[in-house]
Chains A and B, each alone.
Chain A
């Protein structure tokens, strides 16, 4: 079900710790230990957050030399950008109608 998949992506990004992890991964890959360092939570809790992000396709842990590093899947953020762009377009269409109304007001207003 497509909406479920999309909802999972957004639910994954709805948590401040997970958003922070994503923000830090946008600067480059990191190991789980590196990611866990700034947080006052157990390594287990960080793994749990990573699992949510992984299941939503936001991050991946490509097989490779140990320790495996965590990688941000940029495609998931493109999706957010796509939705922002849609919202931007909706606002622009509304504002073009407002442009017309403002121009009509000028014609209706007497004065300077």
Chain B
């Protein structure tokens, strides 16, 4: 079960999820490029890793491809530890928007690990536009809800 929250005071999104794997294996899935490319997704995209130096102080760049259209992402592996990964993350189409992502791998025993991620962006507007992204259907639903709300017949 994935749990998500938007911090009310800081432009942060936090996501928590448990996995049936050791912290070491979960870390490898985030730091080995061929493993990372297999799950980062979404399903409709192919991921091509262009540059990958998964060491403290290293950097990465990968490209998501769909029907010839490409979206490039890059960032730094600021720090890699057995139980913690700190990265910067930028979508090259919006080079001024830099997220600071921290991932914690909490060992739960019995071969289970809790992954906690925190993504800090530079403004509430950036966070909220990220929350709105990729939501054509949700946007329509949200708009209908807003319409109802604005016409004051929302219960």
- Report how far A82 CA is from B130 CA in the complex, Å: 13
Contact A91 B146 (CB under 8 A): no
A45 lies within 8 A of chain B by Cβ = no
- Which of B142, B145, B150 gathers the greatest number of chain A CB atoms within 10 Å? B142
Contact A73 B4 (CB under 8 A): no
Contact B35 A101 (CB under 8 A): yes
B93 lies within 8 A of chain A by Cβ = no
Q: A14-B123, A75-B154, A79-B146 are in contact. Are A86 and B135 (CB under 8 A)?
A: yes
Q: Give residues 81-110 of A contacting B (CB, 8 Å).
A: 82-88, 90-95, 97-106, 109
- Report how far A19 CA is from B124 CA in the complex, Å: 11
Contact B146 A75 (CB under 8 A): yes
Contact A75 B148 (CB under 8 A): yes
- Per DSSP, chain A at the interface is helix
A5 lies within 8 A of chain B by Cβ = yes
A14 contact from B38, B124, B138, Cβ within 8 A: B124
Q: How far is the CB of B149 from chain A (nearest CB, A)?
A: 4
A23 lies within 8 A of chain B by Cβ = yes
- Report how far A10 CA is from B143 CA in the complex, Å: 13
B49 lies within 8 A of chain A by Cβ = no
- Report how far A14 CA is from B26 CA in the complex, Å: 35
A40 lies within 8 A of chain B by Cβ = no
Q: Interface stretch among B40-48, B56-64, B66-74, B94-102?
A: B40-48
Q: Give residues 14-63 of A contacting B (CB, 8 Å).
A: 14, 16, 19, 23, 57, 60
Taking CB as reference atom, which chain B residue is nearest A95?
Answer: B17
Task: Show 9 residue pairs from A and B whose CB-CB distance is below 8 angstroms, ordered by the A residue.
Answer: A9-B146, A10-B125, A57-B146, A78-B145, A83-B132, A94-B39, A94-B41, A97-B39, A100-B39
- A residues neighboring B (CB under 8 Å): 2-3, 5-6, 9-11, 13-14, 16, 19, 23, 57, 60, 73-76, 78-80, 82-88, 90-95, 97-106, 109
